[in-house]
Structure 1
Amino acid sequence: MTHELPKKMADPPALDPRQSPPPRRRHALLVNPFYRKDPHASFGKHVLTPTLALTSVAAATPPDWSVAYWDENLLQGPPPLEPFPSVVGISVHLTFARRAYELSRYYRQRGAKVVLGGLHVLSCPDEAALHADALALGEGVGLWPRILADADRGALEPRYFGSFTAPFREDPPPRRALLPRQHFLTSTSLMATRGCHNRCGFCYLATRGLAMPYQMRDPAEIAAEWRAEGTPYAVFLDNNLSSSPGYLSRLCQALAPLDKIWSAAVSIDVTDRPELVRQMALSGCTAVFVGFESLRGENLAEARKKTPRPEDYARRVELLHDVGIAVNGSFVLGFDQDGPDVFARTVDWIEAARLECATFHILTPYPGTPLYARLNAEGRILHQDWDLYDTAHVVFRPARMSERELAEGYSECYSRLFSAGSIWRRRPARASELPSYLAMSALYKRSNALWPLLIERGLTARVWHPMVEAARRRHVAFRRRLAASGAARGYFAPAYAGV
């Protein structure tokens, strides 16, 4: 399998060198900058569903302003020149900070005011301030109207401070009408909760200055929002949808009547309550993303991750499989207790547990996290080229292997996982699920050569939607059988009274 990266997935689009028209008053542009794709992973995951950050900010735009949205990763080139914005808001993540700064320079030179926000701005504000007219430090939805008002009267402040303590439920629905829906597998990305009961030392949620209390939205509002969208499939972008079992139960009750399908990130301890797992399936959950992170308890303890014993992972995966929920496992490579044997051992376990998919990450010390502070104090940080802090490159000195061994082992994990042999060994036990599993496996990774074409020509939705609708129909039939079998045993998932 080749790991060559097509140019359009490796390099950002060239910015338009022509002279721009004068900025249009009260017109804002929100930009998601280009980032280099990992050739080992699926290109398809980048168009699974849109992020909510910018469409949520767009929803807070005052009615006397116009606003446009542009995602450079949809391969449509740079943002158009006309209408030229008077204010540009750019989301800044660590791995595309350089591109964000390049865009900022381009627009500032042409008379627009540029506002930078996002996690990298929060963790490295002094760096970001060199490239912006203003910084949004904190929750952007609440800050955006004030920023636009100040910009309109020529009185932008250099820094705007917000928090994540404002009631999450009061945020307006994302402005999805701005999205080019044809480029995404589904345009329905939802967020029911904010925060996580874990605070792992390597996770961006542990970034210094990011205080995000756990909050929940009314399940009925989530169901109504999705019903209005009219799409058959939704992706929950919550950090951990299962942090509150009681809330998840109530959410499942609200989603079940929709006869739709959904996926979400959960922690594996959701299987502490088999009846809740069953309720997830009956409400349309077809797949979960689980951060296993490591098969060694010492690594999990070092990362301060609260999770069941790794020795019990396989049994818990089986509980999910028993009710038709597929598992995409996330694994971090390069912890201090990891040696060169971690790669084969991890993939062996994935195959034995029959995970439908897996995602690998090289341990990456994000600035502002406890992990970065520790490795920096130990003199193990190799550089600060943020473009390479993408979990696909080695940016620190490992404890029990060389940098080269870690990089090559990471590549080998993906090569094994997406080989025809591994895909076959991980096939589902139910023969009825085999055709869809093989089709999804082929399209997800082994068709990487096709993904740039699908994305660029806006064919993603057209190709995927028939498969998604077929999957929805199969799952509706499956959960009716599941409900009937439960009724025969008197086995119904209760609504949890607590959280």
Structure 2
Amino acid sequence: MKVLIVLPATVFANGLPYKTKRRWIMGLALPYMGALTAPHAEVELIDDRMDEINYDGPYDLVGLSVTIGTAERAYEIAAKFRKRGVAVVMGGFHPTLLPEECLQHCDAVVEGEAEYAWPELLEDFRAGRMKSRYKADRFHDLKNLPTPRWDLLDRRKYFVPYLPLQTTRGCPFKCSFCEVPIFYGGTYRHRPIGEVIEDIKRIPTGKVQVVDDNITGSHEYARELFKAMIPLGVRWSCLWTINTSRDAELLDLAVRAGVYHVNIGIESVSQKSLSSINKRQNRVKDYVEMLRELERRGIFYSLNFLFGLDEDTREIFAETMDFLKQVRAPMAFFNTVTPREGTPMRSRLIAENRVLNRMADRYLGMDCLFVPKNMSPREVEDGVWDCFRKFYSIPSIFRRLSTAPAWSYVTQGLPSNLIFWWAVRHRKDPVDYY
């Protein structure tokens, strides 16, 4: 049995897929699904953004890993294979949150985690009894996970040689705009440290992209993990919360373990706006000092911001830029808040009849899909672009990086800042380059 696993591309509003010859980093979905599939069948992996799909290939089954931003392209790919009589299965965040919609375009969906459901589906397909919906009756304990099949992808097509790895799954927090707590049932689990270390040892580049939603959700676990990573001499990037900076020992261990970049979702510089999305764990009054803790250790960081929250006013954009000037942040991402289907925030907006365009978050761009309380959707969109233009202007890049606390801020930040400067000048969302 031959199985094709495809990561569909994102699409523009005109329906055309976003195609590039290379992309910034490798995600985990393809190599991990390759590992889950390989014991049961011959498997081929395709990143639709960079590779052409052979619709006439000798495939028995096609699996699509689908997010909200790739759903439209996934439906197009599925239609072409099904027209040839090839069965198509969809899994990932979008099929989990909207299984009924996806089933209009495929033969089966896998809801939630794949470790138990996907092998069952493959066996049922082989026996000619595949059902339309598969969902595991329990969450995986994350023991004995297969090693991602990085070897099935061409690493030369990714600019950054950091290979993806997962150490924890889920998040202990429940921000109302985020689908992660929904997908993982509000759980936060971690892998056995010994198994993580063995996976890291197998990474040929010695560079790791930890894809966890929150690697420091348990400081106790993170502390032991970082200690175990120190002898390996690897370099790694991750996501963690800004509150990690409250734990000096943990920061020091992360540095010794080889951390080179952290991405932090601080979301807003307004405490009221943070409360409106149930992100009560963040304390705006502590932001400056907590970022200083990273600077003192030379930890390069990037910050995520959301705009259009219920307590946001037009002043939020200037307040955000003032904050970024104060801290001299090396990198930042600015976004309109786009609550996904199935999240508490999306459900509330629908109940309040404030959703303007349910499809806005399915296409490339930064459209505001709902009516904010204190601004118009256009004001939010224009404010986001204005933040990008100001933050990634040449004078801003020079000011921030010329006074950087560590040389690593320049070597790591300058190439990315210049790419973002180019993207903003051409009215392209810089995040699309990832």
Matching residue within 283, 301, 321 for 1:309: 283
| Matching residue of 2:28 | 52
Which residue of the partner structure matches residue 490 of structure 1?
none
**Displacement after TM superposition at 1:141 (Å):** 2.6
Q: Structure 2 residue aligned with 1:191, among 162, 166, 169?
A: 166
1:20 corresponds to: none
- What 5-or-longer segments of structure 2 have no aligned partner? 14-18, 425-432
- In structure 2, the residue matched to 1:413 is 387
Which residue identity is paired with 1:113? A
Matched residue SS, 1:278: helix
Q: 1:41-80 maps to which residues of 2 (within 5 A)? A: 47-61=23-37, 63=39, 65-74=41-50, 76=51, 78-80=52-54
Q: Is the 8 A contact 2:338 2:361 kept in 1?
A: no
Q: Deviations over 1:216-258 (max 9, x none)?
A: 1122322221222121321110000111111111111111112
For residue 175 of structure 2, what is the aligned residue in structure 1? 200
Q: Is this contact kept in 1: 2:55–2:81, CA < 8 A? A: no
User: Residue 477 of structure 1 corresponds to which residue in structure 2?
Assistant: none
In 1, Cα distance between the equivalents of 2:279 and 2:409? 34
Counterpart CA distance in 2 for 1:86 and 1:386 is 34
Query: What is the aligned partner in structure 2 of residue 378 from structure 1?
Result: 352
- Displacement of 1:429: 3.4
| Partner amino acid, structure 2, of 1:29 | L
Segment of structure 1 superposing worse, 312-321 or 272-281: 272-281
Contact 1:57 1:144 in 2 (8 A): no
| TM-align CA RMSD | 2.4
Deviation larger for 195-204 or 183-192: 183-192
Per-residue CA deviations over 1:79-117 (Å, capped at 9, x if unaligned) read 124632110000111112111111111101111110011
- Residues 264 and 289 of structure 1 are in contact (CA less than 8 Å); yes or no, is this contact kept in structure 2? yes
1:224 to 186, 198, 202: 198
SS, match of residue 395 in structure 1: coil
Inter-partner Cα distance in structure 1 for 2:412 and 2:95: 40
Identity of aligned residues (%): 30
Are the structure 2 counterparts of residues 114 and 402 from structure 1 closer, same or farther at C-alpha, using a change threshold of 3 Å? same
- Work out the CA distance in 2 between the residues paired with 1:306 and 1:219: 30
> Do residues 278 (structure 1) and 252 (structure 2) align?
yes
For the 8 Å contact 1:27–1:85, the answer to whether it is kept is yes
Task: Tell me the alpha carbon deviations over residues 326-361 of structure 1, each in whole angstroms, 9 at most, x when there is no partner.
Answer: 120011111111111111211221121111101111
SS at match of 1:170: coil
Which residue does 1:132 correspond to in 2? 106
Alpha-carbon distance in structure 1 between the residues aligned to 2:138 and 2:420: 36
Contact 2:331 2:413 in 1 (8 A): no
SS in 2 for 1:47: coil
Could you say which residue in structure 2 is the equivalent of 1:116?
90
**Alpha-carbon shift at residue 186 of structure 1 (Å):** 2.3
Q: Tell me, what secondary structure is at the counterpart of 2:49?
A: helix
User: In the TM superposition, what is the alpha-carbon distance from 1:365 to its structure 2 partner?
Assistant: 2.1
Flag the 1:280–1:438 CA change in 2: closer, same or farther, 3 A.
closer
Partner Cα separation in structure 2 for residue 392 and residue 349 of structure 1: 22
1:387 CA drift (Å): 4.8
Could you tell me which of 364, 378, 401 is aligned with 2:338? 364
The Cα of 1:310 is off from its aligned counterpart by 0.2
Q: Which moved more, 1:302-311 or 1:238-247?
A: 302-311
Cα distance change of structure 1 residues 446 and 372 upon mapping to structure 2, 3 Å threshold: same
Superposed displacement of residue 308, structure 1:
3.7
- Compared CA separation, residues 299 and 315, structure 1 to 2 (3 A): same
Match of 2:420 in 1: 445
Unaligned runs of 5+ in 1: 1-25, 450-459, 461-499
Contact 1:364 1:389 in 2 (8 A): no
Return the match for 1:150 from 124, 149, 173.
Answer: 124
Amino acid at match of 1:138: G
Aligned residue for 2:388, secondary structure, equals helix
Partner of 2:151: 177
Partner of 1:168: 142
SS at match of 2:143: helix
- Which of 239, 252, 259 pairs up with 1:265? 239
Q: Does the CA-based 8 Å contact 1:365-1:371 persist in structure 2?
A: yes
User: C-alpha displacement at 1:437, in angstroms?
Assistant: 4.4
| Residues 170 and 181, structure 2, Cα contact 8 Å, conserved in 1 | no
Instruction: Find the aligned partners of 2:73 and 2:162 in 1 and give their Cα distance.
Output: 25
Distance 1:287 1:363 in 2: 24
- Higher relative contact order at CA 8 Å, sep ≥6: structure 1 or structure 2? 1
Q: CA deviation at 1:121?
A: 0.8
